[in-house]
């Protein structure tokens, strides 16, 4: 199914890297040099085209906005990196926990079906 139909709009899938560096910086409300600085510090790793051009996704733009918000509150780049790592780990744990709850429910249902 095309992303337009899937998301109900003409926007690309959030994980699809389609934006160039100047568009990404503009959408995130930061300068291109600031974006490059964030990359050098490992806060963001954009996809690359076959020719080596940086390409950013909607997910990357959201991450850039989060970085900019943290920087605006006075958090240094090392602190931002740690916060992002913890947020990513927390999101992964939530996903895993949801999956495990679903697995547990399915096992209980299977057990009750075979017992009854």
Model confidence over 71-92: pLDDT tens digits?
A: 999 999 999 999 999 999 999 9
Q: For the residues 52-56, what does the mean pLDDT come to?
A: 94
pLDDT band, very low/low/confident/very high, at 4 (cuts 50, 70, 90): very low
- Strand ranges, E, within the chain: 47-48, 54-55
Largest Cα–Cα distance in the chain? 66
Mean pLDDT of the chain: 91
% of residues, the chain, pLDDT over 70: 91
- Per the model's pLDDT, the better-predicted residue between 11 and 104 turns out to be 104
User: In the prediction, which pLDDT does 116 show?
Assistant: 66
Q: Would you state the pLDDT for residue 14?
A: 86
Give residue 44's pLDDT: 95
End-to-end CA separation in angstroms for the chain: 41
Task: State both tokens at 108.
Answer: 């209980």
* Closest to 71 (Cα-Cα) out of 39, 30, 32, 42: 30
- DSSP reduced 3-state for 48: strand
Give Cβ neighbours of residue 15 (< 8 Å, ≥ 6 apart).
57, 58, 59
The string of pLDDT tens digits covering residues 98-112 is: 999 999 999 999 998
Give the pLDDT score at 1: 46
- Beta-carbon contacts of 110 under 8 Å, excluding residues fewer than 6 positions away, are none
């Amino acid at each position: 199914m095309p992303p337009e139909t899937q998301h109900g709009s003409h926007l690309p899938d959030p994980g699809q890297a389609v934006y160039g560096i100047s568009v990404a910086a503009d959408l995130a409300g930061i300068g291109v040099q600031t974006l490059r600085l964030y990359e050098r510090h490992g806060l963001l790793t954009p996809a690359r085209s076959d020719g080596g051009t940086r390409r950013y996704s909607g997910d990357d733009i959201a991450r850039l906005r989060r970085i900019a918000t943290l920087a605006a509150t006075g958090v240094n780049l090392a602190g931002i990196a740690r916060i992002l790592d913890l947020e990513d780990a927390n999101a992964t744990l939530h996903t895993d926990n949801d999956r495990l709850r679903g697995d547990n429910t399915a096992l209980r249902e299977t057990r009750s079906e075979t017992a009854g």
